[in-house]
Amino acid sequence: MRDLESRGVDGLIYVSGYRNQVNRVKELNIPVICVNQLEKMDETMPVIESDHEYGGYLAAKALLERGTERIIMLRDERDILPINQREQGFKAGLKEQHLRPLHISRIPFNVDAAQKK
């Protein structure tokens, strides 16, 4: 965080991360906006959040509008709220058209394996 200050950073867009880091930035008096911060920071910290469920719903609608009929959903295997919300929205979009995905596959999240490829 001291590196930010030494570089003359005027502000910071903070995408998720650790609560303690944002508090350290606040001590340096650098304006901060958090994006998709699942844990509320404090009343003075502006937060911009995505509507993950609606995003999943829109994804399903986009596929259906293009005439897609045989749909498989690939998703991260981790049990994380935004991912689960996207799946719920996606299923809701299909259900609206009396459809359901042929299969939902949970893909392993493995940074080491991805870096090797």
Q: Which of 92, 114, 111, 110 is nearest to 101 (CA)?
A: 92
Q: Show Cβ contacts of residue 112 under 8 Å, excluding neighbours closer than 6 positions.
A: none
Q: Show Cβ contacts of residue 89 under 8 Å, excluding neighbours closer than 6 positions.
A: 52, 53, 54, 55, 56, 57, 58, 59, 60
What distance in Å separates the CA atoms of residue 15 and residue 48, rounded to the nearest whole number? 10
What tens digit of pLDDT does each residue of 1-52 get? 677 777 888 888 877 656 666 667 677 777 888 887 666 666 777 888 889 9
pTM, full prediction: 0.67
